[in-house]
Amino acid sequence: MSVSTQVDLVYQRESRRVLATLIRLLGDFELAEEAMQEAFAAALQQWPLQGVPDNPRAWLVSTGRHKGIDQIRRRQTASQHLQRLDLDDVPTHELNEDSIADDQLRLIFTCCHPALAIETQLAMTLREMCGLSTEQVARALLQQPATVAQRIVRAKRKIREAGIPYDVPERKALPQRLHSVLQVIYLVFNEGYSSTSGEHVVNIDMAREAIRLGTLMANLLPDTEVYGLLALMLLQDSRRDARQSTQGELITLEDQDRSLWHQTQINEGVRWLEAALQRPPAGSYTLQAAIAAVHAEASSTANTDWTQIIGLYDVLLQRNPSPVIALNRAVAVAMRDGPQAGLALLDVLTDAPALQNYHLLPAARADLLRRSGQLSAAREAYQQALQLVQLGPEQRFLQQRLDTLALAATQTDRSQKS
């Protein structure tokens, strides 16, 4: 493996942790981002000559810190900035593995400070924690890219000017930020579990990082929804090896080889779910974890207890009305009562503003239309979904469905003519 390939792999796995620590050390988001890029550029130059260091993450943090200090010194306000940050000598313990790992939790709490609007908190964390582009963040939040970009710029300015602390708050202040932090961790997990763009269905490292952060939260603050979220992530992530082929192609739940599901992880998720259910009332994440557990218990799609899943969705919709949850419930109803029953529910969601650019709505409609034999309408819905989707494997899956329907239509025409 070439050194440049190794640097690329390190960037994919470590860049967000490196950035989190540099933000703490340099006290500025933009400066930390520039310093991190310079550190990786230095790695491309030095590692081929000196070899890859034993601890690439610590090397990048140390190099990035020095690059950041160099930039500060070149500025007109260097002396004031240096005095405020006291960066000349950072103690060795500041760069150890534990402190670097904790920096991502600090970053989440900084981005989720109550002084920032909830939409801004989510956008900031997805951008800084996950390294998503503005367009990817916009798709994850079902918002316009320009709106997201403005929010991120304003948030960074507010964090800097208001001196929002880069730290995990005291225990008594944790509940105030809990909802936002959990929502952010789940969005991070979702991007790892089902990428919004690119060529890979699953980003294992990102999903694993979200689970690690969820575990930290569970140890930090015993809470029903903390346990529920951790259970949900573990149960969903247990399917990762069955969700894509060895060629990286998408495999739907119905066609997955369930022997590839990680039973040890399922058992762990069920234990956290049971712990959550012992602290009623069950919240949104706990209810979603319960739905995931029903799937995990089933030997196949046909043997799934769809009535129980629908009942859980009913409760979930009462507590957290959401068109996305209503969409998922409609699919479950279709699995129990047939495609026409599901289509009737999807028709109600057609004009929901949050779903106008959500490709899973026309994709679900297309699948139910195909199952009900309405092939012409199904092709139209698949084409609509294909125009909205950004993930390569999903694009190819939808195109394959379209090609299959086109072939069926051709064969039908030939049969009728003969």
- Successive 10-residue mean pLDDT values, the chain, 418 residues: 87 88 89 94 94 92 93 67 49 48 80 86 82 80 87 90 84 80 88 83 86 88 93 97 93 96 98 95 96 97 97 96 96 98 96 92 97 94 95 94 87 65
| Phi, psi dihedral angles at 115 (to 5 degrees) | -70, -15
The CA-to-CA distance between both ends of the chain, in Å, stands at 59
Residue 83 is predicted with a pLDDT of 52
> Taking Cα atoms as reference points, which of 389, 393, 391, 323 lies closest to residue 360?
389
Q: Which long-range contacts (CB under 8 A, 24 or more apart) does 138-142 make?
A: 139/196, 139/197, 139/357, 139/390, 140/187, 140/190, 140/191, 140/196, 141/187, 142/354, 142/355, 142/357, 142/358
Could you check whether the bond before residue 145 is cis, i.e. omega within 30 degrees of 0?
Answer: no
Residue 174 is predicted with a pLDDT of 78
> Taking Cα atoms as reference points, which of 256, 325, 252 lies closest to residue 287?
325
Residue 179 is predicted with a pLDDT of 85
How many Cα atoms within 13 Å fall on the side-chain side of residue 412? Answer: 9
| Phi, psi dihedral angles at 263 (to 5 degrees) | -65, -35
> Taking Cα atoms as reference points, which of 10, 206, 198, 201 lies closest to residue 104?
206
Residue 88 is predicted with a pLDDT of 47
> Taking Cα atoms as reference points, which of 75, 40, 78, 45 lies closest to residue 59?
40
> Taking Cα atoms as reference points, which of 66, 57, 12, 3 lies closest to residue 38?
66
Contact 129, 104 (CB under 8 A): yes
DSSP per-residue string spanning 303-346: TS-HHHHHHHHHHHHHHS--HHHHHHHHHHHHHHH-HHHHHHHH
Cα 37–Cα 42–Cα 45 angle in degrees, nearest 5: 135
Q: In terms of CATH architecture, what is 1-86?
A: Orthogonal Bundle (1.10)
Residue 76 is predicted with a pLDDT of 55
3 state SS of 289: helix
pTM for this entry: 0.79
Residue 33 is predicted with a pLDDT of 92
The CA distance from 301 to 352, in Å, is 28
The CA distance from 358 to 193, in Å, is 17
Domain-wise residue ranges, the chain: 1-86, 96-221, 224-241+259-297
The CA distance from 292 to 281, in Å, is 18
The CA distance from 372 to 388, in Å, is 23
Helix 339-349 / helix 360-371 crossing angle, nearest 10 deg: 150
